[in-house]
A and B are shown apart, each in its own frame.
Chain A
Amino acid sequence: MRREWIYALLLLLPAMILLMGFTHIPAIETIIDSFYSTPRGRRAARFVELENYRTLLADDVFLRAFWNNLIYAAVTIPASIIISLGMALFVHSRIRGLSFLRMAYFTPTVLPLIAVANIWLFFYTPGFGLIDQIRGLFDLPPQNWMGQTDTALYTMIAVAVWKEAGFFMIFYLAALQTIPTPLREAAKLEGAGRWTFFRRVTLPLIMPTTVFISVNAVINSVRLVDHIFVMTEGGPNNASKLLLYYIFEVAFQFWDTAYASTLTVVILGMLSLLAIGQFFFLDKRVHYK
């Protein structure tokens, strides 16, 4: 079927060109660029071997951003997964005000993170922000949540969890609806309580969804940095700096593109590790069936 080949390649061509042009080739170029110096003025880029990587390992800001990103991921991922599962369980049951609850949980997904960052900024404002006003009711002193090195990262984490949980809820809700009702009835006859049913039946059945959500959450823990632009700009003293924000700074404020590429390689490396891990994990699951 030669003609079929030709049709297929013609149909694929436009999409493949764009995919190559904006994903595959840039990814490879990023790796190559990380071994060169940044071209400046009339001085062309030259091959510097691992110098950028040596700089990286000695760069306190990078180490801080890397560590921050690990904390950001380690808190955001489980927190948004647990909260989204709770939300899904809430709105899956017959409960008063179901459609309001669903809407309330889901709204953050629709709102642009860059827009609501302004609102969150007000919540955290020392003295008259909402959180400090509530603390004031209990005679607690005002706190500069975003301006302290030990709390700044967590204020960013709270916004990220708020943004993500409602989106993940939708996938859990879809999964919960596929659990057959007879299972529920059988469990009730056996005298299984809500908690036992959840642990023994629901949790294992929604495992594939949890894997799907975790992968998304990991990718988002690298991508979702919009609020940092408005709220802290990575500060104070790099306390809330994440990798992608640091790449933005290095590339578009300091114009050190080679070093920015080196930083990007770190992210690409982490994502490929994830891809490999996911491949093996899913592979194992297929054997189960």
Chain B
Amino acid sequence: MTGYDMTVADRLDRALFTIGAWMLALLWILPLIYAIWTAFHPAAYEVNFDLTAPLTLENFPKAWVQAPFARYFLNTIILVLMILAGQLVLGTCAAYAFARLSFPGRNVLFALVLVQLMVMPDILLVENYQTMRMLGLVDTILAIGLPYMASGFCIFLLRQTFMTIPKELDDAARIEGEGVIGTMLRVYVPLAKPTYLAFGLVSVSAHWNNFVWPLIITNSVETRPLTVGLSIFSTADSGLEWSVINAATLMTSGPLLIGFLLFQRQFVQSFMRAGIK
């Protein structure tokens, strides 16, 4: 549509559409803008949005020394990588078996996997806590991650991807002398790379942000992830300033946020890909 054949009504329609989109976007990003504003200004300006207010970086070191954030970061990174590694290894094995091998009870077992899409470990707090206590794992990073390592979503997603790979490649690999595991690793895994990336992003952001289960199963600095650490930090009755809390908030979500800004396109596309299948 060129500018010439646009009627007044069309133009008005177009303008309203754009204004609506922008209003919604500003509303949605407002919390982040506010956090950035207060985190980079002295505490006196946390409710006083003056454009000439002096910028400062001092809120970040202030927050950093008031809680063991370095330890929380380390815990979270270990946790997220551990969960992802577990999910990918277990998911690949299970998905390959479901997609390409025949065995008795295949459908029943697959149905049992799908149950987890509905009933997530987050809901079975009480029993899972008792299991961890029985295993002697309460207050360990492993205990935060273990319930999530066999991911129904990961198995389902990889199975769908593996099923789209032509079976002729299997036969070719067999003729080359590859066994079941060799075929899986050398044919299926490389071809499913986009799915691995998509799932990886979803998993990392989900577990970086997870809160309730880590809150319950951890009770010491050595195991607490960032989310739990931040909640303790900000609810502590220490008369903390908003600007310091917001600096801590930005630090906590910083790595994900920066990662998201840098890889925005891939991020959104991989989420989309994860959604279609």
Contacts and interface: CB of A to CB of B under 8 A. Distances in A.
Nearest to A219: B118
Interface residues of B, number: 88
A44 interface: no
A12 B109 contact: yes
B163 interface: no
B28 A166 contact: yes
Interface string A15-28: 11111111111110
A133 to B, nearest CB: 7
Contacts of A219: 118, 120
B207 to A, nearest CB: 10
B223 to A, nearest CB: 16
A172 to B, nearest CB: 9
Given A109-B205, A112-B253, A23 B272 contact: no
Interface in A73-132: 83, 86-87, 90-91, 93, 95-97, 99-116, 118-120, 122-123, 128, 130
B72 to A, nearest CB: 12
A7 B101 contact: yes
Contacts of A268: 119, 123
A127 to B, nearest CB: 9
Nearest to B87: A15
Contacts of A93: 17
Contacts of B205: 109-110
Interface in B252-277: 252-253, 256-257, 260-261, 264, 267-268, 271-273, 275-276
Interface residues of A, number: 94
Contact of B109 (A16, A21, A96): A16
Contacts of A27: 119, 124, 127
A22 B130 CA distance: 11
B173 interface: no
Interface string B23-41: 0111011011011000000
Contacts of B252: 112, 115
Contact of A87 (B24, B34, B46, B103): B24
B272 A173 contact: yes
18 contacts: A4-B101, A8-B101, A8-B102, A11-B96, A15-B90, A19-B152, A22-B124, A110-B253, A111-B209, A112-B208, A114-B209, A116-B249, A119-B31, A174-B275, A219-B118, A260-B126, A261-B126, A261-B127
Interface of B: 13, 17-18, 20-22, 24-26, 28-29, 31-32, 34-35, 46-47, 90-91, 93-94, 96-98, 101-104, 106, 109, 112-113, 115-116, 118-131, 146-147, 149-150, 152, 155, 180-181, 205, 208-209, 211-212, 215-216, 226-228, 230-231, 234-235, 242, 245-246, 249, 252-253, 256-257, 260-261, 264, 267-268, 271-273, 275-276
Given A22-B131, A119-B249, 17 more contacts: A1-B102, A7-B180, A8-B103, A15-B150, A24-B115, A27-B124, A90-B20, A90-B24, A104-B25, A106-B268, A107-B260, A110-B205, A113-B209, A226-B212, A248-B216, A252-B125, A272-B118
Give 10 closest A-B pairs by Cβ, nearest first.
A26-B127, A18-B150, A104-B25, A90-B21, A112-B209, A8-B101, A22-B147, A8-B103, A104-B29, A174-B272
